[in-house]
């Protein structure tokens, strides 16, 4: 069962809390691991989290959130 939008945002916030400025590196590594393992659902989920992390990091850096 896919994560809800709310859950994806919560995951993104947690990734930033745990990894700070290195969050994008963590996400790239995690997505790579899942891709290598052939877990396409996992890749899709983590890409959705990565998009939200990018938006949150932009917002925290003073750039407005992009509208989807």
pLDDT digits (tens, 9 = 90+) for 37-58: 999 999 999 999 999 999 999 8
The 10 Å Cβ neighbour count of residue 43 is 18
What are the angstrom distances between the C-alpha of 41 and each of 10, 18, 36, 64, 65?
18, 23, 12, 29, 26
Going by pLDDT thresholds of 50, 70 and 90, the confidence category of residue 66 is low
Taking the C-alpha atoms of residue 40 and residue 58, their distance in angstroms, rounded to an integer, is 27
pTM, full prediction: 0.86
Instruction: Judge whether 50 and 32 are in contact, CB under 8 Å.
Output: no
Q: What CA–CA distance (Å, rounded) separates 68 from 46?
A: 18
| CA 7/CA 20 separation, integer angstroms | 19
């Amino acid at each position: 069962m896919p994560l809800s939008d709310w859950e994806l945002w919560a995951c993104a916030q947690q990734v930033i809390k745990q990894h700070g400025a290195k969050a994008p590196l963590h996400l790239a590594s995690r997505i790579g691991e899942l891709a290598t393992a052939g877990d396409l659902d996992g890749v899709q989920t983590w890409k959705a989290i990565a998009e939200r992390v990018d938006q949150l990091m932009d917002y925290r850096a003073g750039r407005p959130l992009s509208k989807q």
